[in-house]
């Protein structure tokens, strides 16, 4: 068992972006390494384009399945507005991996509200460690748009301190066989991603 | 052979696993968040018969039958489902069971996906039956097994209550193997199973006797235990709050109640004798607190003075409530965020959208019901005006007409297909019998979409994928006496509008079945539409459909080709002929 300390993370996205699956893979990887792990999901609304958040907690022993506000070590966001929405959960030392995608919510679509400006700046005001990623422009995702979540997971995974091999096994345990190869490719691309110097 | 393995499971999966291991052979349920996955998981195990009932009352009655026939049974529903099943439940308490019967109530503090947050622990007290409250997935599995044994030993149904955080959280579970139970078969015993007053009066004292026995059992049960140190204060927790207290205040003295009704009174008194003050930590109502206070005169007992009675608790709320800063009884302050909300939406291509567009255009009063179509209440459609509980819309429309007979000309009740089978048929009978003239729209999208696309009697497909004769809604409506029954396509706006207008003034009840399968059911989508910027006058009419694929782009509407599936509603709504089929780009082979 590799030694990582207690790790709390939030995965935020929009229904249909693979948030639930990403949570499952992280939990499976932690379990591979012998940790206690708990996740908490809100489904129900997941399919209808509502905002979705998954809490994942990894430690020798986990009690509550929810990360207390202000204590998340990582925020993985598949959409910019959702990153802002769940930013209050991040600890002052926490890291954000954020996809550059914008998905306009209904109030914006019908013109009663506007999509927030300067999201990256607002994230940086709260965290010194923000990794913005334009997943849609990265090679494996261009070919297979639905693997964006796993590519972003690869970037986060590099920070978590679990061995690459556990992730490989977690991916094959969590996905149907015909999806293994493309998702593993996306994960690897994330794992070897070099964030631009800021 | 030992084959204990450890798996990461949601509370719902763990409940199904426990039922399988305990030798359950019959499972019934009606879907409802956060309970739905229990039966879906259960149906995957061999040796079990699991099926969706049309509603929770029928689910429990089928469960009772199976139990009387000697089978171990699991019946699952969301909290409000227990209201529907409450009638058989109250008397089942008197008759007792045959094979063990466990009723799972999945409560939803915080109303993540419910119309209320009622605390169903009260049902255990009302029915005088044992209540079990697991605090994680392992306990969810273990308590199902313990509950079924308890049910048989004490001849009682058992209520297992989860909350969203138990049902939809994953944690590690050690599993075991299935324990096949010999089924005894139905024993005819009218004095036990025929609850006429004479027999019911004889059963009644047995219920009290059983409750006393259960109380003694609760004292001994390994589901109740104390832990931690300290003499200043002792915490009493049940369900998820145990995990919150352990995290917020590690090492504190805790009495953890897994078997939380009837209360282990002696255990609580003994616990109280070791500390100066008792703090009861429970979500929603002061269910334990009030009983415990009555049990411990002279002992300081707090609970709801420190923690909110509304919504979920959390580690932070426990920290704040016990920090001596006074009450946090109002809960977490509502998120003051200037961020645009992201509510769930009717999907692009959703057949419900056409219906609500027309209802809004006609400015009708629309008593509604529960399902995806309840989203028709939100802007910009805003065309659904009541939602109380499943099946309520038709009755409410009848009532509006009783109060004001002229209302029938401007009122349409809407109800989904699954909801119609759940509890819409009886009010339709009332509509006819009361001489009402109101029009009913059945939104038949061929599935129970809201809860994740379960089949129902109208599709005739079972949980295992077998086919049964699908119920013909049109024929059913005629059979209860509605003469004017029509089926229409909700995506043909003009036809739908003229049909609704005609039926509003028909002078007798009408049913319009707006029929088109849910767009998520895997139909191949049509090509996306596009907007001709030259013709678009930016009038915003198409945006009033509230379609996620449509937005304003500069001074013109625009369609996101990745979201649009070509349902064609916007092109019907556009008065300037600006919306049409995509012109294939050069070199585009599809
Ligand atoms: C008594 C009760 N049981 C279950 C639910 C959960 N629930 C809400 S709507 C719904 C059914 C929706 O199906 P349908 O009427 O076909 O509408 P659709 O979502 O397909 O539009 C269910 C099961 C509930 N709210 N109340």
Sequential DSSP letters for B271-310: HHHTSSEEEEE-SSS-HHHHHHHHHSTTS-EESTTTS-SS
Q: Which of B77, B390, B425, B514 to probe ligand 1 with, by most ligand atoms within 8 A of CB?
A: B390
pLDDT band at A5 (very low <50, low <70, confident <90, very high): confident
With respect to residue B590, please indicate whether it lies within any of the assigned structural domains: no
Same-domain check for residues B370 and B472: yes
User: Does A28 lie at the interface with B, CB-CB under 8 angstroms?
Assistant: yes
Mutate to test the interface with A, among B243, B340, B520 (most CBs of A within 10 A): B340
Q: Is residue B418 part of a domain?
A: yes
Looking at B485, B515, B545, the residue that finishes a domain is B515
Note whether B214 and B232 are same-domain residues.
no
Say how many CA atoms lie within 13 Å of B385 toward its Cβ. Answer: 15
Checking if the pLDDT of A85 tops 70, the result is yes
Q: How does pLDDT run across B177-218, given as a tens digit for each residue?
A: 999 988 889 999 999 999 999 999 999 999 999 999 999 999
Q: What is the pLDDT of residue B590?
A: 39
Q: Is the residue at A95 inside a domain? A: yes
Q: Do B315 and A37 touch (CB under 8 A)?
A: no
Q: What is the pLDDT of residue B325?
A: 62
User: How far is B210 from B177, CA to CA, in rounded Å?
Assistant: 31
Domain containing A87 — which CATH number?
3.40.920.10
pTM for this one? 0.96
CB hemisphere CA count around B467 (13 angstroms): 3
Of A39, A42, A51, the CB nearest to B170: A39
Assign residue B547 the CATH number of its domain.
Answer: 3.30.70.20
B264 occurs within a structural domain: yes
Minimum-distance CB partner of A111 among B33, B169, B543: B543
Residues of A in contact with B33 (CB under 8 A): 43-44
Ligand 1 centroid–CA A55 distance in Å is 27
Q: What is the per-residue pLDDT across B454-507, written as a single tens digit (0 to 9) for each?
A: 999 999 999 999 999 999 999 999 999 999 999 999 999 999 999 999 999 999
With a cut of 80, say whether residue A178 has pLDDT above it. yes
- Judge if B182 and B212 occupy the same domain: yes
- Is position B364 within any domain? yes
Chain B partners within 8 Å of A69 (Cβ): 314, 316
**Is the Cβ pair B165, A85 closer than 8 Å?**
no
Q: Which atom of ligand 1 is nearest to the CA of B420?
A: 15
Do residues B295 and B410 share a domain?
A: no
Q: Taking CB atoms and an 8 Å limit, are A85 and B113 in contact across chains?
A: no
- pLDDT score at B587: 42
Residue A198 in any domain: the answer is: no
Residue B2: partners with Cβ closer than 8 Å, 6 or more residues away: none
Examine residue B343 and state whether it is found in any structural domain, yes or no. Answer: no
CB contact under 8 A, B551 and A85: no
Interface touch B339/A84, C-beta < 8 Å: yes
**B419-455 per-position pLDDT tens digit:** 999 999 999 999 999 999 999 999 999 999 999 999 9
The CATH number assigned to the domain holding B380 equals 3.40.50.970
Does a structural domain hold residue A197? no
pLDDT for B589 equals 41
pLDDT of B335: 56
The tens digit of pLDDT for each residue in B355-383 reads 999 999 999 999 999 999 999 999 999 99
Q: Specify the 3-state DSSP secondary structure of B248.
A: helix
Alpha-helical segments (H) within A50-179: 80-86, 106-109, 119-126, 139-143, 148-160, 164-174
Minimum Cα–Cα distance from A63: chain B residue: B243
Chain B contact set for A14 (CB, 8 A): 342
Chain B contact present for A16, CB below 8 A: no
More confident residue, B83 or B522: B83
Distance B468 CA to ligand 1 centre (A): 21
Which residues form the domain of B248?
224-321
Distance CA B174, CA B292 (A): 33
Do B379 and B459 reside in the same domain of the chain?
A: yes
| Region at B137 (left for phi over 0; alpha for psi -120 to 50; beta for the rest) | alpha
Question: How far does residue A142's CA lie from ligand 1's centre (Å)?
Answer: 38
- pLDDT value at residue A43: 64
CA B73 to chain centroid, in Å, comes to 20
Name the residue of chain B whose CA is nearest to A145's CA: B562
Mean pLDDT of A20-46: 89
Q: Which of A53, A52, A55 is nearest to A27 (CA)?
A: A55
In this complex, the residue of A45, A63, A109 whose CB is nearest that of residue B113 is A45
Cα distance between residue A150 and residue A189, in whole Å = 9
Inside any domain, residue B524: no
Task: Find which of B344, B447, B538, B549 to mutate to test the A interface (most A CBs within 10 Å of its CB).
Answer: B344
Q: Would you place residue B573 in the very low, low, confident or very high pLDDT band (cuts 50, 70, 90)? A: very high
* Predicted confidence (pLDDT) per residue in B33-91, tens digit: 999 999 999 999 998 999 999 999 999 999 999 999 999 999 999 999 999 999 999 99
Checking if the pLDDT of A86 tops 90, the result is yes
Note whether B215 and B229 are same-domain residues: no
- Do the domain assignments include residue A156? yes
Cα A86 to ligand 1 centre (Å): 29
Q: Which of B142-151, B319-328, B517-526, B539-548 has the lowest mean pLDDT?
A: B319-328
CA distances from B280 to B32, B238, B385 (A): 29, 9, 40
Between B590 and A104, residue with greater pLDDT: A104
B191, B236: one domain: no
In a domain, A123, yes or no: yes
Report how many domains make up chain B: 4
Predicted local confidence at residue A198, as pLDDT: 53
Residues A59/A189, Cβ–Cβ less than 8 Å: no
Q: What is the mean pLDDT of residues A167-182?
A: 95
Contact A36 B540 (CB under 8 A): no
Greatest Cα pair distance, chain B, in angstroms, is 86
Tell me whether A131 touches chain B (CB under 8 Å). Answer: no
The separation between CA A59 and the C-alpha centre of its own chain, rounded to angstroms, equals 18
Question: B332 and B317 in contact (C-beta within 8 Å)?
Answer: yes
Any domain includes B329 = no
User: Is A149 part of a structural domain of the chain?
Assistant: yes
Q: Quick one: B250 and B212 in the same domain?
A: no
Interface test with B, best of A57, A64, A126 (most B CBs within 10 A): A64
In whole angstroms, give the CA distance from residue B52 to residue B312. Answer: 29
Shortest distance between the Cα of A126 and any Cα of chain B, in A, equals: 15
Same domain as B162, residue B13: yes
Number of separate domains in chain A: 1
Torsion-angle region of B251 (φ positive above 0: left; ψ -120 to 50: alpha; else: beta): left
Strand boundaries in B452-549, DSSP class E: 484-488, 510-515, 529-531
Specify whether B273 is located in the same domain as B215.
no
d(CA B121, CA B125): 7
**Closest residue to A68, CB basis, from B315, B339, B550:** B315
Does the residue B337 lie in any domain?
A: no
State how beta strands A72-77 and B131-132 pair: unpaired
Shortest alpha-carbon distance between residue B379 and chain A (Å)? 9
Q: What domain range includes position A78?
A: 7-191
Mean pLDDT (whole number) for A112-141: 94
B546 and B564 both lie in a single domain: yes
Is residue B56 domain-shared with residue B40, that is, in the same domain? yes
Q: Does A63 touch chain B (CB under 8 A)?
A: yes
Taking the CA of residue B7 and the nearest CA in chain A, the distance in Å comes to 9
Residue nearest to atom 15 of ligand 1 (CA): B416
């Amino acid at each position: 068992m590799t030694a990582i300390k207690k790790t709390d993370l939030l995965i935020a996205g929009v229904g249909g972006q693979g948030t639930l699956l990403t949570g499952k893979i992280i939990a499976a990887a932690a379990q591979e390494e012998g940790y206690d792990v708990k996740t908490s999901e809100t489904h129900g609304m997941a399919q209808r384009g509502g905002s979705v958040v998954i809490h994942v907690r990894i430690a020798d022993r986990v009690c509550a399945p929810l990360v207390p506000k202000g204590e998340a070590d990582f925020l993985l966001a598949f959409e910019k507005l959702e990153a802002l929405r769940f930013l209050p959960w991040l600890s002052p030392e926490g890291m954000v991996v954020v996809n550059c995608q914008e998905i306009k919510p209904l109030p914006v679509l019908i013109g009663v509200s506007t999509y927030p400006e300067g999201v990256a700046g607002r994230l940086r005001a709260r965290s010194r460690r923000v990794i913005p990623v334009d997943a849609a422009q990265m090679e494996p995702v261009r070919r297979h748009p639905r693997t964006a979540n796993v590519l972003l997971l690869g970037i986060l995974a590099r920070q978590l301190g679990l061995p690459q091999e556990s992730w490989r096994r977690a991916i094959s345990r969590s996905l149907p066989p015909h999806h293994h190869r493309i998702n593993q490719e996306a994960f690897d691309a994330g794992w070897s991603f070099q964030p631009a110097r800021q | 052979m030992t084959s204990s393995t450890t798996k990461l499971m949601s509370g719902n999966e763990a409940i199904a696993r426990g039922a399988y291991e305990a030798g359950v052979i019959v499972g019934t349920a009606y879907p409802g968040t956060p309970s739905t996955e229990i039966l879906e998981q259960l149906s995957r195990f061999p040796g079990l018969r699991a099926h969706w009932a049309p509603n929770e009352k029928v689910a429990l009655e089928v469960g009772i039958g199976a139990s009387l026939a000697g089978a171990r049974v699991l019946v699952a529903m969301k909290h409000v489902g227990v209201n529907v099943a409450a009638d058989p439940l109250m008397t089942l308490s008197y008759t007792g069971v045959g094979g063990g019967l466990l009723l799972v109530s999945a409560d939803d503090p915080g109303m993540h996906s419910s119309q209320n947050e009622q605390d169903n622990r009260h049902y255990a007290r009302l029915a005088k039956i044992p209540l079990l409250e697991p605090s994680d997935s392992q306990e969810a599995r273990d308590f199902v097994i313990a509950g079924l044994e308890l049910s048989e030993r004490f001849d009682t149904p058992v209520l297992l209550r989860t909350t969203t955080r138990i049902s939809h959280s994953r944690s590690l579970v050690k599993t075991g193997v299935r324990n096949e139970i010999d089924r005894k078969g139905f024993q005819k015993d009218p004095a036990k199973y025929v609850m006429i007053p004479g027999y019911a009066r004889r059963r009644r004292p047995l219920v009290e006797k059983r409750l006393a026995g259960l109380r003694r059992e609760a004292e001994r049960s390994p589901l109740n235990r104390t832990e931690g140190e300290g003499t200043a204060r002792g915490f009493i927790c049940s369900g998820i709050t145990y995990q919150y207290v352990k995290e917020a205040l590690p090492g504190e003295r805790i009495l953890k109640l897994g078997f939380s009704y009837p209360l282990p009174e002696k255990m609580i008194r003994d616990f109280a004798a070791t500390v100066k003050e008792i703090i009861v930590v429970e979500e929603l109502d002061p269910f334990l607190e009030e009983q415990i206070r009555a049990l411990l005169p002279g002992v300081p007992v707090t609970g709801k003075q420190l923690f909110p009675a509304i919504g979920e608790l959390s580690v932070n709320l426990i920290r704040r409530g016990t920090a001596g800063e006074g009450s946090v009884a109002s809960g977490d302050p509502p998120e003051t965020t200037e961020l645009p909300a992201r509510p769930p939406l009717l999907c692009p291509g959703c057949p419900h959208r056409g219906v609500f567009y027309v209802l809004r255009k006609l400015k009708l009063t629309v008593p509604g019901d529960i399902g995806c179509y309840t989203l028709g209440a939100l802007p910009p459609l805003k065309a659904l005006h009541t939602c109380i509980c499943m099946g309520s819309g038709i009755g409410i429309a009848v009532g509006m007409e009783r109060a004001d007979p002229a209302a029938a000309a401007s009122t349409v009740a809407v109800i989904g297909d699954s909801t119609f089978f759940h509890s819409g048929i009886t009010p339709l009978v009332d509509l006819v019998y009361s001489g009402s003239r109101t029009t009913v729209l059945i939104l038949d999208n061929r599935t129970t979409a809201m809860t994740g696309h379960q089949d129902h009697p109208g599709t005739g497909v079972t949980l295992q994928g077998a086919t049964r004769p699908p119920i013909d809604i049109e024929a059913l409506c005629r059979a209860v006496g509605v003469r004017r029954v029509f089926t229409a396509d909700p995506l043909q706006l003009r036809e739908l509008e003229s049909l609704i207008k005609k039926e509003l003034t028909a002078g007798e009840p009408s049913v319009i079945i707006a029929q088109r399968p849910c767009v998520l059911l895997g139909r191949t989508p049509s090509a996306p539409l596009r907007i001709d910027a030259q013709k678009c006058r930016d009038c915003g009419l198409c945006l009033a459909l509230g379609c996620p694929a449509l937005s304003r782009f500069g001074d013109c509407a625009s369609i996101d080709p990745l979201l649009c599936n070509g349902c064609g509603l916007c092109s019907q709504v556009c008065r300037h002929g600006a919306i049409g089929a995509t012109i294939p780009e050069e070199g585009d082979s599809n």
